[in-house]
Amino acid sequence: QKEVEQNSGPLSVPEGAIASLNCTYSDRGSQSFFWYRQYSGKSPELIMFIYSNGDKEDGRFTAQLNKASQYVSLLIRDSQPSDSATYLCAVSLDTGRRALTFGSGTRLQVQP
Amino acid sequence: DGGITQSPKYLFRKEGQNVTLSCEQNLNHDAMYWYRQDPGQGLRLIYYSQIVNDFQKGDIAEGYSVSREKKESFPLTVTSAQKNPTAFYLCASSRQGPWAPYGYTFGSGTRLTVV
């Protein structure tokens, strides 16, 4: 089992719809969770951070964390073609390693 | 402006050759990291360093080496022992530990190709 798992996609949604991306993680003691957006050929950029159960909203983005079920999700409201990118889930696992573990990413396509 | 500079942007390596990827930051961050990304895949950790003169292996350290002689610099050498080095290499730094809300600051990456 991978430590951080994501569906590779592509996830295709029409412009204006809600895109829902999911991530599961194996380490129950994990504390910090990140969502990065990566455009093709570019480096990742941080879009959301969450560490407590529940929802965290920032503009059109909402991160949702459920530690009991060991999943974290990202909702993108009013999706735009410019949101088309790969979204990487990253977790600070409770393994003693002082570095983030990344999922393989979900590719999102927003259709105009 | 503060940031991370990776060079070169593109690098071509011949079989059996060692090459070094540069990573320099002026953010005064203590921690620095090297990740490798293959097409359609996520980031895999090669090495990381929390302080000067100290570094730890990640998941795929075989065939790679690093040094951390200065806080600002964390170069990665891809040795001839790395049999499949063609990939996108990303350097990152963080203000505190990876659990802190700031996350990583990434460089723009180096694309390495074996010719």
Q: What is the pLDDT of residues A64-85, one digit of tens each?
A: 999 999 999 999 999 999 999 9
Minimal C-alpha gap between B42 and chain A (Å): 4
Chain segment B63-112, per-residue pLDDT in tens:
999 999 999 999 999 998 888 999 999 999 998 877 788 889 999 999 99
Question: For A102, which of B31, B43, B97 is closest by C-beta distance?
Answer: B43
**Chain A residues with CB inside 8 Å of B56's CB?**
97-98
Torsional sign, CA A105, A109, B3, B7: positive
Tokens of B42: 């996520």
How many whole angstroms separate alpha carbon B35 and alpha carbon B90?
5
How far apart, in whole angstroms, are the C-alpha atoms of residue B36 and residue B47? 10
Judge whether residue B41 has pLDDT over 90: no
All residues at 6 or more sequence positions from B1 whose CB lies less than 8 Å from its CB, including other chains: none
Whether the predicted pLDDT of A62 surpasses 80: yes
Nearest to A44 among B40, B101, B106 (CB): B106
pLDDT value of residue B1: 65
Inter-chain residue contact B99 with A105, CB threshold 8 Å = no
Name the residue with tokens 């002026």: B26
Mean predicted lDDT score pLDDT of chain A:
94
B95 vs chain A: nearest CA distance in angstroms? 12
Q: What is the pLDDT of residue B25?
A: 97
Closest chain B residue to A87, measured at CA: B42
Q: Which two tokens stand for residue A27?
A: 């380490």
Whether A99 sits inside 8 A of B98 (CB atoms) is: yes
